Chain A
Amino acid sequence: MKQTNEHTHRPVRLAFIILSLAFLLLLIADLLLGSVIVPLKQIFLAFFPSAETQDTFRTIVLDFRLPKAITAILTGAALSVSGLQMQTVFRNPLAGPFVLGISAGASLGVALFVLGFSSVVTFGVVTATGAWPLAMVAWLGAFLVMLLVLYVSTRVNDIMTILILGILFTSAVTAVVSILQYFSNESMLKAFIIWTMGSLGSVTNEQLSVMAPAIFLGIALAFLKIKDLNAFLLGENYARSLGVRIVRSRIFIFLSTSLLAGTITAFCGPIGFIGIAVPHICRVVFKTSNHLVLVPAVILTGGIVMLFSDIVSQLPGMQTTLPINSVTAIIGIPVIMWMIIKNKKFASVS
C-alpha cells in the first residue's frame, strides 16, 4: 500500500518542484526584461526603500513591471482554474472559462459603454474617464450574466442544456456587439478592438487591490469544491449517488468561474486559449484526474504560461507591446498540437 502511494506521489511532487522553479525564474525574467533591461541587482534593491537604487529602475519595477507580472500570474491562474472547472462540470474537453457567456456579458458592457457613447459624446470624453469605468462596465456585464447563469442553473436540471444556452447566449451577444460596431465611428471602434485584444499592462496598483481579492475569493471557492469536482468526473448521476448536492454544488462552481473569468475579462480583456489549454497541459504532465492535484497545478502552470506570454509580448528592444491575446495563442497552440500528436489520450478529459 505504502509503496503504491510513493509510486504515484513522487512524480507529482517532482513536477511541482520543477514548475515552481520555472515559475520563479520567469517571474524574475518578467521583471528584468522589457523595453529597458533592469539589472538583476536593481530588482532586489527596488523592494527596499532605504537601499541605494536608481529611482527610474524602482519606478519601472514597482509601478509598472511588478503590477503587470502580478496581473499576468492572476490572469493565468484565474482563467486556468475556471477552464478546469468548466471542462469537468460539462465533461467536455473544449469547454473553457467563457462557455457560460461571461466574457460575452463583459464585452457587451464594454461595447455599450465605448461604442454606445460614440453617438452622444466625443471620443475624448470616454478615454478621459480612464481605465476604471471600462473595468466597471465589463464587470457589471459579467455580473449580470452570472446572475442569469445561476438563475438558469437552478431551473434547468440538464447540464447540457446549460452549455447550449451559454453558447447561444454568446452568439446573440456577439450579434448585438456587431450591430454596435457597425454604427460606431472609427476611433471608438479602435478603442473597442484594442480592448478585445487584451492587455496586462493597463492594470494599475489601485485596480490590483480590487482584482486580487476577487481572484483569491474565486480560487478559494474552487478549492472548497475540489471533492465535488472529482465526483463530477463520473457524471452527475454518480455524483448525486455519492452524496453531492448537484444544484448547490453547481452554483458554487459557476460562482467561482464567473468571478474568476469575469474579473479577468473586466480588467484585462477577453484573454482566450489559456483557460482551455492549461488544464490539458496539467493532465498530461501530472497524469492525474484528481482535482486536489489539478487545481494547484493549473494555478502554477497558468501563472507560468502567462508570465512567459508577457515576456514574449514585450521582448527587449521592442518599444511596443504585442496584443497578449495573440501571443497566448501563437505560443500555446503549437504546444497543444504537439501534445495531441504525442499523447492521443490527451483529448479525453472525462
Chain B
Amino acid sequence: MMKSGFNIELKNVSVGYEQTGGTPLEILKGINYDAAPGEMVALIGSNGIGKSTLLRTMVGFQKYFAGEVKVNGSELSEIGVKELARIMSFVSTENIRVANMTVFDLVAFGRFPYTNWMGKLTETDRHKVDEAIDKVGLQGFKNRQIMQVSDGERQRAMIARAVAQDTPVIILDEPTAFLDVSNKYEIFHLLQVLAKERGKTIVLSTHDLNIALREVDKLWIVTDEGIFQGAPEDAVLGGWLNKLFKNENIGFDLQEGEYFFKKEFKAKVKVEGEGLPLIWTLRALNRVGYQIVVKAEPDFHVLVNDNLWTLKSRNETNTFQSIYQLLASLE
C-alpha cells in the first residue's frame, strides 16, 4: 500500500520562460535544494521572486534550462507524463468551479492515472477515494456539489484528490491562500500527518510564514541575496527571515518568531502585572506605537491587575475596564 519514499534533488537548476528566438528568460538560477521522504518542505520568498515557476518546473509543466532535477535519482525531464502522474501530484490555488460535480467526483480524479480508458472506478479505486475523503475530514460532504461547499472545504477536497492519486511526492502551490486561520492550520497539520504517516515528500509554497515556521521540517528560502535551505530554526538564527523582505519597515522578531511592522514610537511605557492580561496589554501598547521599557525612565506606567488597567502619568491616575478603553484614553 505505501510506496517507498521518493526524494527530490535540485542541482544548480535554472528556471524561467522560453522567449521567442532568444535566450530563455531565467527567473531563478543556481538553485540547489533537496527534500527527503517524510519531509514537509515550505518554499518561501517574496511575491514575484519565482516560487510558482520553480514549483511548476518541479512538476514538469515547464522546462528547466540548466542543472538537474532528480526524482529518486531519475532525471525529471526523462520521466513520461503518465509515469509522472503516479509519482507526483499537484495542488494549486486555482479555484475549481465546475457545475454538477460532487466532492466524490472531484476526489476521484486522483484515480485518473490508474483507471481504464473510460475512467471507470474499480472497488479499490472507490475505497481509496473514500479513504482520502476521510483523511481530510470531509466525511458527510461526499455527495455535496463542489460549487456548494466553502473554499476551505473545496481546497481540502483538492488535497484529498492528491492523496487519492497515491503518489510518493505531493507538490502544492500556495495551498492555504484564501483560507481562514483555522483552515490554514488544519491543512498544514494534515500535510504534516501525510508526510509522517505515509512517508510522502511534500513541497509547498506559502506566505503563511508564522504557521510554516511552526509546522514544517524544512524551509527553502529564495531571496535576492541568495537561497537557503534548512530547518526553520536554522533560518531564523541565520538571519534569513529578515532578508525576505526588501521593505525596511518589516522586521522579524527573533524572540517571538514573528514578523512585525517597524514603527516610530510615540512614548515610553513601563507595564507591571502578570499572566495573560500582561502579555496582551504589552502587545496592544506595542501595536498602537508605544515602546515598552524595563529600565529606562518611562513617560507613564500601566498597572494590570484583576482585569483592571490603571494608567499612571505624572499628574493623574485612571482605571479602565478594558484594554480598548485604556488605549482610547491614551489617544
Contact = CB atoms under 8 A, between A and B. Distances in A.
Contacts of A8: 143
A283 B88 contact: no
Nearest to B123: A1
Given A231-B112, A243-B82, A346-B99, A237 B61 contact: yes
B91 to A, nearest CB: 9
Interface string B108-134: 011011010111100000100010000
Interface size classification for chain B = 35 or more
A345 B97 CA distance: 11
Given A227-B117, A231-B109, A238 B101 contact: no
Contacts of B126: 1
Contacts of B113: 242-243
Contacts of A7: 143
Contact of B101 (A226, A240, A243, A289): A289
B105 A290 contact: yes
A241 interface: yes
Contacts of B115: 227
A13 interface: no
B81 interface: yes
A79 B60 CA distance: 35
Interface in B89-114: 89-90, 92, 94, 96-101, 104-105, 109-110, 112-113
A147 interface: no
Interface string A269-307: 000000000000001001111101000000000000000
A348 interface: yes
Contact of B94 (A4, A235, A240): A235
Contact of B89 (A234, A241, A348): A241
A240 B96 CA distance: 15
Contacts of B59: 241
Contact of B99 (A224, A227, A345): A345
Contacts of B119: 226-227, 230, 290, 292
Nearest to B85: A243
Nearest to A7: B143
Contacts of A233: 98, 101
B233 to A, nearest CB: 33
Given A1-B126, A226-B119, A243-B85, A289 B105 contact: yes
Contacts of A197: none
Contacts of A242: 85, 109-110, 112-113, 165
Contact of B92 (A226, A237, A289, A292): A237
A244 B130 CA distance: 24
Contacts of B105: 289-290
B61 A240 contact: yes
Interface of A: 1, 4, 7-8, 224, 226-227, 230-231, 233-235, 237-238, 240-245, 283, 286-290, 292, 345-346, 348-350
Given A292-B120, A348-B147, 6 more contacts: A4-B142, A235-B96, A242-B110, A242-B112, A288-B100, A349-B99
15 contacts: A4-B142, A4-B143, A226-B119, A227-B119, A231-B109, A237-B90, A238-B96, A240-B61, A241-B59, A241-B85, A242-B109, A243-B112, A287-B100, A345-B100, A350-B97
